[in-house]
Every structure is written in C-alpha cells, then in structure tokens.
Amino acid sequence: METVEMNSVSLKRPRSEDDVANADEIKRQKILEKSKTGNDSGQSVETVTEQPDKSLLEDTKNEMIPNEENEEQEDEELEDSDEDGDPESFADMMKHGLTESDVGITKFVSSHKGFSGILKERYSDFVVHEIGKDGRVSHLDDFSVPVDDEVNFEDPSEETFTVLSDEDKQRLEELQLLKNKEASVAIEVIEDTKEKRTVIHQAVKSLFPGLETKTEDRDGKKYIIAYHAAGKKALANPRKHSWPKSRGNYCHFVLYKENKDTMDAINVLSKFLRVKPNIFSYMGTKDKRAITVQEIAVLRITAQRLAHLNKCLMNFKLGNFSYKNHPLKLGELQGNHFTVVLRNITGTDGQIEQAMHSLREIGFINYYGMQRFGTTAVPTYQIGRAILQNNWNEVMDLILKPRPGAEKGYLVKCREEWAKTKDPATALKKLPVKRCVEGQLLRGLLKYGMKNIISAFGIIPRNNRLMYIHSYQSYVWNNMVSKRIEEYGLRAVPGDLILKGATAVHIEEGDIDNYTIHDVVMPLPGFDVIYPKHKIGEAYKEMLVADNLDINNMRHKIRDYSLSGAYRKIIIRPQNVNWEVVSYDDPRIPLFPTDLDKLEGKPLPVLPTDGKFRALKMEFSLPPSTYATMAIREVLKMDTSIKNQTQLNTTWLR
C-alpha cells in the first residue's frame, strides 16, 4: 500500500464540557463555541485548546523531582497559578512550538482519505487500562479489603482515622520526620476510659510508623505521650510487630484516576497517608487528561488504610487489594489497552471502515509522539544534542535563555533576568517554583560556580537529565524511519534489521521472503548497535556528522551520557482492535461506561439512533513505549502538534 505525505490540517474548536471550572474558562468556552475554520481540502480536526498537560501518553520515563522540604508547600501553591497573566494568547505563543515535520514525523502508511474528529473533548473520552506482565488487563471491579489469616493482628478500626485532630496529626508528623526539637508529643485524653486510650494508642502507631506511645498522668490529667523509640532508625524501619509475618510486605492495588497524571496521584496519596512517595512503585506512568487504570504497590500500608482514602479523595478510587512480597518495577507491563472516543467525526462509513481496517491489518508508523520533544521554541532534543557534543555552555544557554512559547510568567521573568545579568542568584529570586529544571540548574550554578556547569547540571535528577539525550535519540529515529519508509515503502528489503532474541541481524537476499515490514526494526543511535546495510545506514551517519557526533563513538566521558543504543519496530500493528460509530445529541454525556460507572451501577444515557453528531469509539492494545496519538494520527490523517492545532485560530483567541 502506498505511503502518503502528511498535509497541513486546519482546525476547529469545540466546547470542552469538563473544564469550565471558573469564570475565565466559561468565557473562553463561549468564544470557542462561536469559532469555526476550515481548509481547502474539506478536512478539519477539532480539538480543545488548553495549556498542554505533562504528557498525553502512557509510557513517559520521567519520575518525580525530589522536593526540598522548605519549598514543597510554596511550590504546590504556585505551580497551578496563573498569577502573571500574559497578554499573549496561548495560540500566539504556540506559533513558536514544534510541528510534526520538525521532529521527523512526515509519513502515513494507509491510503484512505483523512477525516475530522475531536480528540479528548472530554478527558473521559480517553481511557487507558494497563496490561500487566502476565497479560491481564487491570480493572477496578472490587472495593473489598482482604482478611488476614493471622488472628493476633487487627487492622485499625474506622475510629482510628478520626480520633486524632488535624493539629495532633501535624505535630505527630513533624515528630516522626524529626522536623522539630521536641522529644515527644503529648495528647490529652478528654474521655478518660481505657477503650478511648487504646484507640488513641492504635491511631498513633498505625498512622505514624516509627513512633511509640505511653500513658502518663500530668496535673491530674491523662496524656498519651508519643515518642521515637529508636530515633531515625525507627522511621526507616517501622515496628516489626505491627506487620504480620504471614502477610506480604507490599499491598498491591488498582488505582483508578481521572484527569491526574501518575506522579501527581502518588504525591496526593502519600500526603494523605503521611508517608514518602518513594514507598510506592508502579510499572508505567499514565496520562493526565484521561481516565486511567493501573496497578500500584506500596510498602507496608494496609489495604484498610488505602480503602479509607476512597471516602476523602476526589477523582481517585482504589480497589482490588492484595498483599504480595514484591514491589512493581518500571517497564514490567506488557502494554496498555485504550478506549478512545473521537467525537463529531465527518468521515463516511466507508472512510472509517477503510481507516480502521488499515490500522488493524497494517498498523501505524511507530513514531515517538510530540510530547517527547517539549512544547516551547527550544526542543528537548536540542539540549540532548548539546550534552552529547559536550557543549556545556550551550546546554546552560538552551535551558535558561529567553524563548517564545507557552510558559508561566515567573519563568519568563527568570529567563529575562538571566539574559541580563548571567547571575544565578538574582535569576533564582525571580523563580518562586524552585523544583523545576531551571531552578535546579540555577541552584547548581550557585553551588558549583559558572565554571563547573557539568556539576551544576548534575543536580537535576538523573531521569530528567537522561530525558534530553533520549529525546535526541527519538529525533534521529523519527527522521530515519521516515527516510526508510520513503525509500523502500512497506516491505522488508535486504540490509534491513530484524531481532533474533536480543540480537539484531541483517536480512540477507536469500531470506527476504521470510520477513515482512512488521519484522523490521531500526536502531536508536548508541555505542552498541548496528545499522542497516543500505541507504538508511548511510543516512544515520550523515545526520550525526551534521550534528558533530561520531556514530562509531557514542561513549561520553561522563558515563551517564554514553548512549547505549536500542532497536524499535518500524510498524506497530495494534492488537484487539474494535470500533463502532455511535450517534449522540449532547456533547456533555459519556458515550461508554467506565470501571467506576459499572461498580456504582450507573446507567448510561440512551443514545439516539440518529443523533446530530457521530462519534468513532475505537479500542486497541499497544505495547509499552508506543504512542496512542500516533495510531489516532494514522486514522484521522492529522498533525497532532499543539502548534498545528492552534496556528490557524489566533484571531478569535486574542
């Protein structure tokens, strides 16, 4: 089947019924309702214009940036604030962002004519279920708490969670974390009964591992005294007697979340449980603007405590609890199953059938999606390239210099100060949110000096640093796979690479009939990979030479930045592909039930057989590190970049 070049696609703005949370948003939505644009081809893609979420996809590699204790609360208050209102509209700012062609995404593999649809008009239109390493799809379908075999151990009662005041909990948390100079915390027993004292003892020990309690008489009153039995050791190693030997050390549970990314969810859970986020583990991160269902494991927190959170958290539900002896590890998952609704579609039944059959039978080009490369005028791959070139002044400049694009006002002021003074101290004063990459680099420059940028850059968490060089690898891969498809089409050719086990080998002329395009892989550049034995192998070398890099020597003098290569399939063929077209009149109503809807027995609205609008509901499963937006791109023939989604609509957004 022929490959098709990507055309520029005009956009229209629909309403987004989920996000009218304040007056400004309501006003914006009224503007959006009145706005429509089209293009010469008759195609359009409708989308919601909003500040971009961290990641639209499920398998990003970022981990939470550690916070300094005295900055955490201040950062939380500011990170969602728009106190520095910028007169430049979001659409205007996104003129400076990237399009798909900027990062090598230029080809399609299907031959159908593209059509329009609204992607993620509601976050509930995009649902992700994790597929575990055993192939089982994670679902939230059980709120019950497992019962222990060990009769001598009792989980805390419901009263345990309410007997302590918020002030008591704050003082106890500070004591547990050794944040103050107090050796103990005294809690007066108002109702002096043995039963009441027992509940308070249980509450302190259950909610604050590392603390012990005793009862004391003071001035004729009884007090529960909480104290550290073994100093810092007790905090690191909670009381052994509080956890039954027969119970696995990790409570595994299914986390159902709405409109929150995984790390934000972990942070919320840790705050409510008053524990550190690093006791949680998971197999992959999931979208923010979506409903996602995934497995989480947490060290020595009871299912009962976790289940209690269902009563006090918004947009989260926890269930399917079990105790196991192991945590979860990033990358252990088999993939993700997606249920996606594209609303207000314009394609004919024939176009839709052709598009979905092609997705099921041929698949889509396994590009790295746009979120891999950032949203501003300084793409992350440029920083990665400067790191690999060992050009540290360029790294510093790319991260800190002023740039056009969608950014918070305080970041803009910080960059302006840096450009004017090149003084990390004064630039840092303009930055109330210190845990961002810019703030960490500035702190590093303050600590190590302007002549030691390498050490200053090293203050940034490792995962965030490696994100830059992985972005460069992704940039190279996207460009090379587009060249490969352009040069040889959708067939395996001699000199292509296939995987045999963990080893890549070239396809020889005599074996060509044994392989299809679905077997072919392409390398991400690194020191331990081989390249195709045809024109594309030479194209890799030419691209890296142009970037002042030696393809035969990708080892860096700093070990962390030595690129170990890998292999990635050219074409991904989704599994379990199903679809249907449904009609609807009201864009506010959901078009399929979620796990929570089913658990709560919510009836779905009855959909009309001949409604004003049509929607394409599609389901498919993908392996890890593949991008659902790239599959949807292939169906709609649309550019998924934020820039393309906004550039034709700046007039009415001003």
Alpha helices in 324-461 (DSSP H): 349-361, 380-388, 392-400, 409-421, 424-429, 437-448, 453-457
What are the phi and psi torsion angles at 297 (to 5°)?
-125, 145
- Catalytic, out of 59, 125, 261, 287: 287
Contacts of 334 (CB under 8 A, 6+ apart): 131, 132, 133, 134, 135, 623, 624
What tokens does 184 get? 């103990």
What are the phi and psi torsion angles at 263 (to 5°)?
-70, -35
Cβ count within 10 A of residue 119: 23
Q: At how many degrees (to 10) do helices 166-176 and 194-207 cross?
A: 50
> Quick one: which of 23, 75, 16 has its CA closest to 47?
16
Contacts of 239 (CB under 8 A, 6+ apart): 205, 209, 210, 212, 229
Beta bridge partners of 299: 250
Annotate 465-482 with b (16+ C-beta within 10 A) or e (fewer): bbbbbbbbbbbbbbbbbb
Q: Are 464 and 66 in contact (CB under 8 A)?
A: no
Alpha helices in 458-562 (DSSP H): 462-488, 535-546
d(CA 390, CA 630): 32
What are the phi and psi torsion angles at 516 (to 5°)?
-120, 175
Q: Are 351 and 111 in contact (CB under 8 A)?
A: no
Q: Are 506 and 533 in contact (CB under 8 A)?
A: yes
**Look-up of token digits 């779905």:** 604
What tokens does 289 get? 């603007």
Q: Is 287 a catalytic residue?
A: yes
Contacts of 510 (CB under 8 A, 6+ apart): none
Catalytic residue annotation: 287
